[in-house]
Amino acid sequence: MLLRVIWILAGYVLACIAFAFVLVAFVFTPAELATADAGAGRFSMAAFQLLASSIQVVIFAAPLALFAIAMAEWRGLDDWIYYALVALLIAGVGFLAQYVSELQGAPTIVNDYALTAFMTGGFVAGMVYWLVAGRSASERRRAAEAEEAAGNATARDAAAKRAARPVT
């Protein structure tokens, strides 16, 4: 159980970092960073943005992700599409939260590029979580079902032996 919780936490943190990495890659494009005039300043700005974005994503997504992960673990959902859709939903909520928190008259986040960045980040985050922890969500449930089935078979065998004994 403790090992499963560690995998879940690792998957969550790595998914949040992946989401932040995608967002940073939309701001500081790889082509832009690959140019000779990018310099160390651009890389340090990108690294700082990655750290700051990762922290924000970890904090913001926690309540929604906790609920979705608990449901997946309880139901034994290990299909990648579940995690991709949940992460897209969380990314959409994050995009809307950014929009709602904007100041009147300030430039808005509502544009195709920002929406694409958030949705791509959400999809990537869902896939990263699935790869690390999500695809094994049903193992515990399967093990419990197998244990229960074995227990039921043992109980049936014992009942059959009792029934087969001659009455004295």
| 22 and 103 co-located in one domain | yes
pLDDT recorded at residue 107: 81
pLDDT recorded at residue 22: 96
pLDDT recorded at residue 139: 80
Handedness of CA 156, 157, 159, 163 (dihedral sign): positive
| 60 and 47 co-located in one domain | yes
Residues recorded for the chain: 168
Task: Give the residue ranges of the chain where pLDDT is below 70.
Answer: 36, 38, 140-141, 143-144, 153, 155, 157-160, 162-168
pLDDT recorded at residue 36: 60
Write out the residue range of the structural domain in which residue 150 sits.
138-168
CA 90 to CA 121: how far, in whole Å? 10
CA 152 to CA 156: how far, in whole Å? 6
Q: How far is CA 155 from the centre of its chain?
A: 40
| 113 and 42 co-located in one domain | yes
